[in-house]
Homo-oligomer: A and B are copies of this chain.
Protein backbone atom coordinates (compact mmCIF):
# COMPACT_ATOMS: atom_id res chain seq x y z
CA UNK A 1 0.00 0.00 0.00
CA UNK A 2 0.85 3.68 -0.05
CA UNK A 3 2.15 3.75 -3.56
CA UNK A 4 3.20 7.35 -3.42
CA UNK A 5 5.08 6.94 -0.20
CA UNK A 6 6.82 3.80 -1.35
CA UNK A 7 7.52 5.41 -4.67
CA UNK A 8 9.09 8.43 -3.07
CA UNK A 9 10.86 6.30 -0.51
CA UNK A 10 12.28 4.13 -3.26
CA UNK A 11 13.92 7.21 -4.62
CA UNK A 12 15.40 7.83 -1.20
CA UNK A 13 17.05 4.43 -0.97
CA UNK A 14 20.56 5.90 -1.12
CA UNK A 15 19.89 7.31 2.32
CA UNK A 16 21.39 5.16 5.01
CA UNK A 17 18.75 5.64 7.70
CA UNK A 18 15.02 5.07 7.55
CA UNK A 19 13.16 7.68 5.57
CA UNK A 20 10.82 9.90 7.53
CA UNK A 21 7.51 10.38 5.74
CA UNK A 22 4.66 12.64 6.92
CA UNK A 23 1.17 12.18 5.55
CA UNK A 24 -0.81 15.33 6.30
CA UNK A 25 -4.54 16.06 6.02
CA UNK A 26 -6.88 18.74 7.28
CA UNK A 27 -4.61 21.55 6.13
CA UNK A 28 -7.92 22.95 4.95
CA UNK A 29 -10.35 22.13 7.74
CA UNK A 30 -13.39 21.65 5.52
CA UNK A 31 -11.72 18.98 3.38
CA UNK A 32 -12.75 15.77 5.15
CA UNK A 33 -11.50 13.11 2.73
CA UNK A 34 -7.83 13.16 3.65
CA UNK A 35 -8.63 13.14 7.35
CA UNK A 36 -10.77 10.05 6.90
CA UNK A 37 -7.94 8.41 4.95
CA UNK A 38 -5.22 9.08 7.50
CA UNK A 39 -7.49 8.02 10.35
CA UNK A 40 -7.59 4.66 8.56
CA UNK A 41 -3.82 4.20 8.42
CA UNK A 42 -2.62 1.68 11.00
CA UNK A 43 0.80 2.50 12.45
CA UNK A 44 1.57 -1.13 13.33
CA UNK A 45 0.83 -2.32 9.82
CA UNK A 46 2.94 0.47 8.34
CA UNK A 47 5.90 -0.44 10.57
CA UNK A 48 5.55 -4.10 9.65
CA UNK A 49 5.19 -3.59 5.91
CA UNK A 50 7.69 -0.77 5.49
CA UNK A 51 10.43 -1.13 8.08
CA UNK A 52 12.63 1.28 6.16
CA UNK A 53 10.05 4.05 6.53
CA UNK A 54 9.02 6.06 9.54
CA UNK A 55 5.52 7.14 8.59
CA UNK A 56 3.72 9.71 10.71
CA UNK A 57 0.38 11.38 10.20
CA UNK A 58 -0.78 14.87 11.06
CA UNK A 59 -4.07 16.76 11.03
CA UNK A 60 -2.61 20.12 10.17
CA UNK A 61 -5.39 22.49 11.26
CA UNK A 62 -7.49 20.77 13.93
CA UNK A 63 -9.23 24.01 14.96
CA UNK A 64 -10.45 24.66 11.42
CA UNK A 65 -11.40 20.99 11.06
CA UNK A 66 -13.51 21.17 14.22
CA UNK A 67 -15.28 24.18 12.73
CA UNK A 68 -15.66 22.65 9.22
CA UNK A 69 -13.96 25.75 7.85
CA UNK A 70 -11.13 26.06 5.34
CA UNK A 71 -9.29 28.15 7.89
CA UNK A 72 -9.92 30.32 10.94
CA UNK A 73 -7.83 33.45 10.24
CA UNK A 74 -5.78 32.77 7.10
CA UNK A 75 -5.08 29.98 4.65
CA UNK A 76 -2.62 27.61 6.34
CA UNK A 77 -1.48 26.38 2.94
CA UNK A 78 -0.02 29.79 2.13
CA UNK A 79 2.08 30.18 5.28
CA UNK A 80 5.31 28.46 4.34
CA UNK A 81 7.07 30.92 2.03
CA UNK A 82 9.68 32.96 3.81
CA UNK A 83 9.57 34.36 7.33
CA UNK A 84 6.39 34.70 9.29
CA UNK A 85 5.91 37.57 11.66
CA UNK A 86 6.70 36.35 15.15
CA UNK A 87 4.12 38.46 16.92
CA UNK A 88 1.12 37.66 14.78
CA UNK A 89 -2.04 36.52 16.49
CA UNK A 90 -3.31 34.65 13.44
CA UNK A 91 -4.10 31.09 14.38
CA UNK A 92 -2.67 29.72 11.14
CA UNK A 93 0.62 31.60 11.45
CA UNK A 94 1.09 30.13 14.92
CA UNK A 95 0.09 26.72 13.63
CA UNK A 96 2.51 26.97 10.70
CA UNK A 97 5.37 27.64 13.09
CA UNK A 98 4.38 24.58 15.11
CA UNK A 99 4.28 22.46 11.95
CA UNK A 100 7.69 23.73 10.88
CA UNK A 101 9.06 22.78 14.28
CA UNK A 102 7.54 19.32 13.97
CA UNK A 103 8.22 18.49 10.31
CA UNK A 104 10.91 20.98 9.31
CA UNK A 105 12.39 23.46 9.49
CA UNK A 106 11.90 23.94 5.79
CA UNK A 107 15.16 23.71 3.94
CA UNK A 108 16.99 22.10 6.84
CA UNK A 109 18.66 18.71 7.12
CA UNK A 110 16.31 17.89 10.01
CA UNK A 111 13.21 18.14 7.85
CA UNK A 112 11.05 15.16 6.95
CA UNK A 113 12.28 13.36 3.87
CA UNK A 114 8.83 13.46 2.32
CA UNK A 115 5.65 15.40 3.13
CA UNK A 116 2.48 14.32 1.31
CA UNK A 117 -0.45 16.70 1.87
CA UNK A 118 -3.95 15.42 1.07
CA UNK A 119 -6.51 17.87 -0.27
CA UNK A 120 -9.83 17.89 -2.07
CA UNK A 121 -11.35 20.38 -4.48
CA UNK A 122 -14.85 21.16 -5.70
CA UNK A 123 -13.34 21.26 -9.21
CA UNK A 124 -13.52 18.23 -11.47
CA UNK A 125 -9.77 17.63 -11.39
CA UNK A 126 -9.81 13.90 -10.75
CA UNK A 127 -6.67 13.05 -8.84
CA UNK A 128 -4.11 15.77 -9.39
CA UNK A 129 -0.57 15.70 -8.11
CA UNK A 130 0.56 19.23 -7.46
CA UNK A 131 4.29 19.30 -7.95
CA UNK A 132 6.80 22.07 -7.80
CA UNK A 133 9.68 22.55 -10.14
CA UNK A 134 12.12 22.59 -7.21
CA UNK A 135 11.19 19.06 -6.15
CA UNK A 136 12.56 16.41 -8.45
CA UNK A 137 11.16 13.60 -6.34
CA UNK A 138 7.64 14.90 -6.81
CA UNK A 139 8.22 15.24 -10.55
CA UNK A 140 9.37 11.62 -10.65
CA UNK A 141 6.29 10.58 -8.71
CA UNK A 142 4.09 12.38 -11.20
CA UNK A 143 5.93 10.81 -14.12
CA UNK A 144 5.56 7.32 -12.68
CA UNK A 145 1.94 7.71 -11.72
CA UNK A 146 0.88 9.17 -15.05
CA UNK A 147 2.50 6.17 -16.73
CA UNK A 148 1.42 3.46 -14.33
CA UNK A 149 -1.93 4.48 -13.00
CA UNK A 150 -4.99 3.28 -14.85
CA UNK A 151 -7.38 5.45 -12.84
CA UNK A 152 -7.32 8.59 -14.92
CA UNK A 153 -5.19 10.42 -12.43
CA UNK A 154 -1.73 11.77 -12.21
CA UNK A 155 -2.08 15.12 -13.86
CA UNK A 156 0.73 17.29 -12.72
CA UNK A 157 0.09 20.90 -11.95
CA UNK A 158 2.94 23.23 -11.34
CA UNK A 159 3.00 26.14 -8.97
CA UNK A 160 5.43 28.84 -8.03
CA UNK A 161 8.95 28.01 -7.05
CA UNK A 162 8.84 29.90 -3.78
CA UNK A 163 6.30 27.37 -2.61
CA UNK A 164 4.04 28.61 0.17
CA UNK A 165 2.47 25.18 0.56
CA UNK A 166 2.66 22.99 3.62
CA UNK A 167 4.26 20.11 1.72
CA UNK A 168 7.25 22.35 0.97
CA UNK A 169 8.34 21.89 4.58
CA UNK A 170 9.61 18.43 3.67
CA UNK A 171 12.83 17.82 1.77
CA UNK A 172 10.50 16.41 -0.85
CA UNK A 173 6.89 17.43 -0.99
CA UNK A 174 3.75 16.64 -2.91
CA UNK A 175 0.14 17.76 -2.70
CA UNK A 176 -2.66 15.46 -3.81
CA UNK A 177 -5.93 17.10 -4.88
CA UNK A 178 -9.00 14.94 -5.44
CA UNK A 179 -12.21 16.27 -6.94
CA UNK A 180 -14.90 17.02 -7.52
CA UNK A 181 -16.17 16.54 -4.03
CA UNK A 182 -18.09 18.94 -1.82
CA UNK A 183 -16.28 20.30 1.17
CA UNK A 184 -17.53 19.04 4.51
CA UNK A 185 -18.55 15.76 2.91
CA UNK A 186 -17.23 12.21 2.60
CA UNK A 187 -17.83 10.31 -0.61
CA UNK A 188 -16.64 6.74 -1.02
CA UNK A 189 -15.32 7.53 -4.50
CA UNK A 190 -13.21 10.48 -3.33
CA UNK A 191 -11.91 8.43 -0.40
CA UNK A 192 -11.01 5.55 -2.73
CA UNK A 193 -9.25 7.86 -5.17
CA UNK A 194 -7.26 9.43 -2.37
CA UNK A 195 -6.38 6.02 -0.98
CA UNK A 196 -5.34 4.68 -4.36
CA UNK A 197 -3.03 7.62 -4.88
CA UNK A 198 -1.48 6.74 -1.52
CA UNK A 199 -1.94 2.99 -1.72
CA UNK A 200 -0.88 0.70 -4.48
CA UNK A 201 -4.15 -0.20 -6.12
CA UNK A 202 -1.88 -2.48 -8.09
CA UNK A 203 0.76 -3.89 -5.78
CA UNK A 204 3.01 -4.23 -8.81
CA UNK A 205 3.66 -0.51 -8.81
CA UNK A 206 6.13 -0.30 -5.97
CA UNK A 207 7.78 -3.57 -7.00
CA UNK A 208 8.27 -2.38 -10.54
CA UNK A 209 9.67 0.85 -9.24
CA UNK A 210 12.17 -0.83 -7.01
CA UNK A 211 13.27 -3.10 -9.84
CA UNK A 212 15.25 -6.32 -9.53
CA UNK A 213 18.24 -4.59 -8.00
CA UNK A 214 16.20 -2.77 -5.42
CA UNK A 215 16.89 0.54 -7.13
CA UNK A 216 14.37 2.76 -8.84
CA UNK A 217 14.19 2.34 -12.61
CA UNK A 218 15.13 5.14 -14.96
CA UNK A 219 12.32 7.69 -15.19
CA UNK A 220 11.22 9.24 -18.48
CA UNK A 221 13.24 12.29 -19.47
CA UNK A 222 10.35 14.71 -18.95
CA UNK A 223 6.96 14.95 -17.30
CA UNK A 224 4.08 16.91 -18.72
CA UNK A 225 2.76 19.55 -16.32
CA UNK A 226 0.05 22.17 -16.41
CA UNK A 227 1.77 25.38 -15.39
CA UNK A 228 -0.24 28.30 -14.03
CA UNK A 229 -0.11 31.07 -16.61
CA UNK A 230 -2.81 33.43 -15.35
CA UNK A 231 -5.73 33.79 -13.00
CA UNK A 232 -8.98 35.18 -14.32
CA UNK A 233 -10.74 36.79 -11.38
CA UNK A 234 -14.47 36.42 -10.84
CA UNK A 235 -16.54 39.27 -12.19
CA UNK A 236 -17.73 41.23 -9.18
CA UNK A 237 -21.41 41.68 -8.49
CA UNK A 238 -23.04 45.07 -8.39
CA UNK A 239 -24.78 46.20 -5.25
CA UNK A 240 -22.39 44.70 -2.76
CA UNK A 241 -23.44 41.07 -3.00
CA UNK A 242 -20.94 38.75 -1.42
CA UNK A 243 -21.55 36.27 -4.24
CA UNK A 244 -19.69 36.58 -7.54
CA UNK A 245 -21.24 38.57 -10.35
CA UNK A 246 -21.20 35.62 -12.72
CA UNK A 247 -21.38 31.86 -12.95
CA UNK A 248 -18.84 29.57 -14.57
CA UNK A 249 -20.12 29.11 -18.14
CA UNK A 250 -21.98 25.79 -18.45
CA UNK A 251 -19.61 24.70 -21.22
CA UNK A 252 -16.60 25.16 -18.93
CA UNK A 253 -18.02 23.61 -15.74
CA UNK A 254 -16.32 20.29 -14.94
CA UNK A 255 -13.90 20.67 -17.91
CA UNK A 256 -10.67 21.06 -15.97
CA UNK A 257 -7.55 20.29 -18.05
CA UNK A 258 -9.50 20.48 -21.33
CA UNK A 259 -8.36 23.01 -23.94
CA UNK A 260 -9.97 26.45 -23.92
CA UNK A 261 -9.49 28.63 -26.99
CA UNK A 262 -9.66 32.39 -27.36
CA UNK A 263 -13.33 33.30 -27.73
CA UNK A 264 -14.60 30.37 -25.65
CA UNK A 265 -16.93 31.19 -22.78
CA UNK A 266 -15.50 31.58 -19.29
CA UNK A 267 -18.36 33.14 -17.31
CA UNK A 268 -22.01 34.06 -17.69
CA UNK A 269 -22.72 37.36 -15.98
CA UNK A 270 -25.92 38.02 -14.06
CA UNK A 271 -27.32 39.97 -16.97
CA UNK A 272 -26.75 36.99 -19.25
CA UNK A 273 -23.70 38.41 -20.98
CA UNK A 274 -20.99 35.84 -21.67
CA UNK A 275 -17.40 36.66 -20.70
CA UNK A 276 -15.02 35.03 -23.16
CA UNK A 277 -11.40 34.05 -22.82
CA UNK A 278 -9.44 36.86 -24.45
CA UNK A 279 -6.50 34.78 -25.65
CA UNK A 280 -4.03 36.79 -23.60
CA UNK A 281 -2.25 33.76 -22.13
CA UNK A 282 -2.07 31.91 -25.44
CA UNK A 283 -4.40 30.84 -28.22
CA UNK A 284 -5.20 27.68 -26.26
CA UNK A 285 -4.97 27.28 -22.50
CA UNK A 286 -6.03 24.61 -20.00
CA UNK A 287 -8.27 25.80 -17.15
CA UNK A 288 -7.73 24.20 -13.75
CA UNK A 289 -9.47 24.74 -10.41
CA UNK A 290 -12.62 25.53 -12.37
CA UNK A 291 -15.28 26.65 -9.87
CA UNK A 292 -13.24 25.86 -6.79
CA UNK A 293 -15.43 27.27 -4.03
CA UNK A 294 -12.47 28.61 -2.07
CA UNK A 295 -11.52 30.90 -4.92
CA UNK A 296 -14.64 33.09 -5.04
CA UNK A 297 -12.91 35.53 -2.79
CA UNK A 298 -9.31 36.55 -2.49
CA UNK A 299 -8.54 35.09 0.95
CA UNK A 300 -6.55 32.23 -0.51
CA UNK A 301 -4.55 34.52 -2.74
CA UNK A 302 -5.80 32.76 -5.81
CA UNK A 303 -9.23 34.11 -6.63
CA UNK A 304 -10.70 33.08 -9.95
CA UNK A 305 -10.03 30.40 -12.51
CA UNK A 306 -6.47 29.29 -13.22
CA UNK A 307 -5.42 29.15 -16.87
CA UNK A 308 -2.53 26.78 -17.36
CA UNK A 309 -0.21 26.10 -20.26
CA UNK A 310 1.36 22.75 -21.00
CA UNK A 311 5.05 22.20 -20.44
CA UNK A 312 7.41 19.25 -20.42
CA UNK A 313 9.60 19.61 -17.40
CA UNK A 314 12.91 17.75 -17.43
CA UNK A 315 13.52 15.07 -14.86
CA UNK A 316 17.05 15.10 -13.56
CA UNK A 317 19.02 12.45 -11.77
CA UNK A 318 18.08 12.44 -8.13
CA UNK A 319 20.76 12.31 -5.50
CA UNK A 320 20.27 13.25 -1.88
CA UNK A 321 22.14 16.50 -2.57
CA UNK A 322 20.00 17.50 -5.56
CA UNK A 323 16.63 16.97 -3.92
A residues sitting closer than 8 Å to B (CB atoms) are 32, 35-36, 39-40, 65-66, 68-69, 122, 180-189, 191, 237, 239, 241-244, 247-250, 253, 268, 270, 291, 293, 296
Contacts and interface: CB of A to CB of B under 8 A. Distances in A.
B39 A191 contact: no
B243 A185 contact: no
Contacts of A181: 182
B291 A185 contact: yes
Given A186-B244, A243-B32, A39 B291 contact: no
A268 B303 CA distance: 37
Contacts of A39: 237, 239, 241, 243, 270
Contact of A291 (B66, B187, B242): B187
21 contacts: A32-B243, A35-B243, A36-B247, A39-B237, A39-B243, A39-B270, A68-B69, A122-B182, A122-B185, A182-B182, A182-B183, A185-B293, A186-B243, A186-B248, A186-B291, A187-B247, A187-B248, A188-B247, A188-B249, A188-B253, A188-B268
- Give the copy number: 2
- Tell me whether chain A's interface is mostly helix, strand or loop, or mixed: loop
A291 B272 CA distance: 33
B185 A242 contact: no
Contacts of A186: 243-244, 247-248, 291, 296
A184 B293 contact: yes
Contacts of A241: 39
Contact of A250 (B36, B185, B188): B188
Contact of A65 (B65, B237, B242, B253): B242
A30 B237 CA distance: 18
A239 B43 CA distance: 15
Nearest to A35: B243
A305 to B, nearest CB: 13
Contacts of A122: 182, 185
Contacts of A253: 187-189
Nearest to A32: B243
Contacts of A243: 32, 35-36, 39, 186
A242 B35 CA distance: 10
